[in-house]
Amino acid sequence: MALLKGKTAVVTGGSSGIGRGIARGFAEHGAEAVVVADVQEDPKEGGRPTHELLEAETDTSSVFVECDVTSRADLTEAIEAAEAAGGIDIMVNNAGIWHAEDFFEVTEDEFQRMIEINLKGVYFGSQIAAERLVEHGDGGAIINISSIAGLFGNGNWPTYSASKGGLTTFTYSLAHKLGDHGIRVNAIHPGGIQTMIGGETTDPEAAAEQARQFTQMVPLGRYGQPEDIAGAATFLASDLANYVTGESLVVDGGWTSWR
């Protein structure tokens, strides 16, 4: 299926995990070009860099742009790479960090770092992409990777929830702002997806017990994979979602459907 034929996309945090999965999904659906924008080129989980993989295994052209999403200049460079590759159609603001935290111990620096990456990066990534999309005058799609933590609270990661909750309502606000231009803006809310976002597993036994408990809570009985999020992102980026904007798509195997 070539749902994204002729489309050019930027995926922040596209070297690893969910971003890598989305870049691969877009290529499998015939995207013309994918710009992989990340702080590092090599995937945390191993294997070939995303852009090399796309170039070798698909008809999609792909480049890596070193991009820290806290820098407006870096984001501009990534989006200009998409302009050079045919003109941006799809912006995926995926880069993000997560860690468990004790509310009483969070420092101003830690708070600021999480908000800068998870919220400010999405805000300005959207702003710069929208400037170009408005200039082009033929619509476009902005997809923000939030989390179920952007819909529900959790005392074990209050700053993360605050950043993702802000991202969620920012998404709705931008859908309202850009609707006149035919630009659709949507959020995806992943549940538990198997990536390296929490770092290396140090205690395999504890990880196995955690997995057992987690999968019991999830109606579909498994962790999500990056390709599960790629499917949702491909749908939202494609013409199949032509009348979908300002929406939250939860992709969590049913985890939050009953808790």
Task: Return residues touching ligand NAP (CB under 6 A).
Answer: 12-13, 15-19, 38-40, 44, 67-70, 94-98, 117, 145, 147, 190, 192-193, 195-197
Give the Cβ contact number of residue 196 at 10 Å: 13
Smallest gap from residue 65 Cβ to ligand NAP (A): 10
Give the H or E element holding residue 99: none
Nearer of residues 33 and 117 to ligand NAP, judged by Cβ: 117
Indicate the residue among 58 and 256 with the shorter CB distance to ligand NAP. Answer: 256
40 vs 257 by CB, closer to ligand NAP: 40
End-to-end CA distance of the chain: 36
Q: Which of 160, 161, 163, 238 is catalytic?
A: 160
Angle at which helices 72-84 and 121-136 cross, to 10° = 30
Instruction: Check 16, 147, 163, 238 and give the catalytic one.
Output: 147
Based on the residue annotation, tell me whether 238 is a catalytic residue of this protein.
no
Q: How far is the CB of 3 from ligand NAP (least distance, A)?
A: 21
* CA atoms lying within 13 Å on the CB side of residue 247: 16
Q: Of 188, 193, 194, 200, which is closest to residue 235 (Cα–Cα)? A: 188
Closest distance of CB 44 from ligand NAP, Å: 6
Distance of CA 123 to the CA centre of its chain: 13
Q: Which one of 15, 62, 146, 164 is the catalytic residue? A: 164
Residue carrying the six token digits 């980026």: 237
Q: Which is nearer to ligand NAP, 55 or 116 (CB)?
A: 116
CA–CA distance, 50 with 71 (Å, rounded to integer): 22
124 Cβ contact list (under 8 Å, min separation 6): 69, 72, 75
Nearer residue to ligand NAP within complex by CB, 195 or 238 = 195
Min dist. Cβ of residue 198 to ligand NAP (A): 8
Residue 195 CB, shortest distance to ligand NAP, in Å, is 3
Q: Is 164 designated active site?
A: yes
- What are the start-end ranges of the E strands in 168-212? 183-190
Minimum distance of ligand NAP from residue 182's CB (angstroms): 26
Nearer to ligand NAP, 238 or 255 (CB): 255
Q: Where are the beta strands (DSSP E) in 14-123?
A: 33-38, 61-66, 90-93
Would you call 257 exposed, middle or buried from its count of C-beta atoms within 10 A (0-12, 13-18, 19+)? exposed
Catalytic residues: 147, 160, 164
